[in-house]
Chains A and B, each alone.
Chain A
Amino acid sequence: MKCSVCGARAQVEVRRRNQAFCAEHYREWFVGEVRRNIRRHRMIRDGDRLLVAVSGGKDSLVLWDTLERLGYAATGFHIQLGIGDYSRRALQTTRAFAAKRGLELLVVDVRESFGLSVPQLAHATGRAACSGCGLVKRYLMNRVAEEEGFSVVATGHNLDDEAATLLGNVTHWQTDALVRQGPMLEARAGLARRVKPLYSLAEREVAAYAFLAGIAYQHEECPHAVGAKSLLYKDVLGRLETRMPGTKQVFLEQYLKKIQPVFKEGLPGAEVELRRCERCGSVTTSRVCAHCKLWERAYSRARKLGLLPEDARFDPRPRLRKIVPDDNPDHSKE
C-alpha cells in the first residue's frame, strides 16, 4: 500500500477515507483534521483560556500534543481517582508527558479533597464505580475551570466514543442526552464551553498517531471498565465498520446534521434553567447538585461502615495542586 500523498510505503490505512499515509504524512493529516474540527465548530476563539482534561491514556495525551502543535496554550487537568496502581501509573504518565514538554498541569486527588477514593465512594453508595466517577469528573472539570478562569474545557473523546454514546442513547431513547451530544457545548453562566476536537477521528487512528508521534501513554485499562457497556457498543460498531468502512462516521455525523436539529425543534424547553447549588455554589439544575447529594449519601453510609470518622463532614472544595515542571519529571515543583 502506498502513501496517498507521496507514494512512499504507507504505514496507516484510513479505510473510511479510502486513503493511506506514510508516517510523516499521517501525522500531518491527523493534525490537519484536528485543526479543521476546531475551526469548523469555532471550538477555540480569541482570548480563550484552555483547560485540557488528561487521564494519561492515548486520547487525552494525543489531544494535548495536537493542541500544542497547533499553537494553543493548554493547561492540563488530571484527576487522581484513587484506583490503586492504575491511578498511580496514570498520574506518573501524565506528569512525565507534561514535564517533557514544559506544560503546566493541575491535579486534584479525589480522596485528598473529598475523603474517599472512587472505589470507596462506590462501596459507600452501592452505585457502580463508573457512575460516581463520571459525576465527580464532570463536577471537578466545571468547578476547576470556573475557579481558575478557563473559558474552554477540551476532552479527548474520539469517533468511537461518540458513536458508542450515540448508539447507547438511541437504543434507550435518552432524548435529553441526544439533544446535548455533540462536538461542542456552548458556555452557559458558570459553565465553560466544552469541546471535543478529536470527535471525528477513530480510536485506531488516535492510537496510530500516538505510536508514530512517540507519545508514551498508559495502555492498561481501568479495572472498572471490564464489562462496560461502552465496550459492547464499540464492539458492535467495530464489526460494522470492518464490513462497511465509514459506518461510525456516517452514523455520528448524519445524526448531528439531520436528526439532532429535528429533536431540538421538537423538544420545547430542552434548555433547562440553571441555578447555583445551595451547598457548594456550583451550577446545577436543582436546589442541591447531584455531586453534593452523592457525597452526602456516601458520607452517611461511610461513617456507618467505618470508612470515615463519626464527625466527618463533606467539604465540596477541591484541593488543587499546580505542577510546574522543569526538565526532569522527577523534579517537578509543586
Chain B
Amino acid sequence: MKVVLRTPQKEVRELAGPLTVAEILAELKIDPDGVIVARGSELLTPDARVEDDDEVEIIRAISGGAA
C-alpha cells in the first residue's frame, strides 16, 4: 500500500498490506493522538482495514503556534 505522510512535509512510504490503521501507525512509529488518517474523502478509525492496493494519507493534526 502507498502511505502518504503529510506531517506536514510530504513523504511517501510503501508498506505491505493488508494492515489496520493502528498497525500502520505503529509500524511508522506515529502517535495516533497527533494525526488523522484518510483514504480518499473518508477518514479512517484505528480498526479500519487497509488493503495492499489502497492509498492512505496521514495528516498531522498538531501545530506549534497558538491559533
Chain B 34-67: CB-based contact to A (< 8 A → 1; otherwise 0): 1110100011111110000000000111111111
Sample (29) of A-B pairs whose CB atoms are under 8 Å apart:
A1-B46, A11-B42, A12-B45, A13-B45, A23-B42, A23-B43, A55-B65, A55-B67, A57-B65, A59-B63, A130-B65, A134-B66, A156-B67, A160-B62, A202-B33, A204-B36, A207-B36, A208-B43, A211-B36, A221-B64, A222-B64, A222-B65, A226-B64, A230-B65, A231-B62, A234-B64, A235-B34, A239-B31, A242-B32
Q: Which residue of B lies closest to A206 (CB)?
A: B61
Say whether A20 contacts B8, CB under 8 Å.
Answer: no
Say whether A238 contacts B33, CB under 8 Å.
Answer: yes
Say whether A208 contacts B67, CB under 8 Å.
Answer: no
- A residues with a Cβ closer than 8 A to B are 1, 10-13, 20, 23, 53, 55, 57-60, 63, 130, 134, 155-158, 160-161, 202-204, 206-208, 211-212, 219-222, 224-226, 228, 230-231, 234-235, 238-239, 241-242
* Residue in A55, A204, A228, A239 whose CB lies within 8 Å of B64: A228
State the Cβ distance, A72 to closest chain B Cβ, in Å. 17
- B residues with a Cβ closer than 8 A to A are 6, 8, 31-36, 38, 42-48, 59-67
In the bound complex, residues from chain A placing their C-beta under 8 Å from that of B36 are 12, 204, 207-208, 211
State the Cβ distance, A211 to closest chain B Cβ, in Å. 6
State the Cβ distance, A68 to closest chain B Cβ, in Å. 17
In the bound complex, residues from chain B placing their C-beta under 8 Å from that of A206 are 61
In the bound complex, residues from chain A placing their C-beta under 8 Å from that of B65 are 55, 57, 130, 221-222, 224-225, 228, 230
* Residue in B32, B35, B48, B63 whose CB lies within 8 Å of A221: B63
Q: Which residue of A lies closest to B61 (CB)?
A: A207
* Residue in B8, B33, B44 whose CB lies within 8 Å of A219: B8
* Alpha-carbon gap, A239 to B42, bound state (A): 26
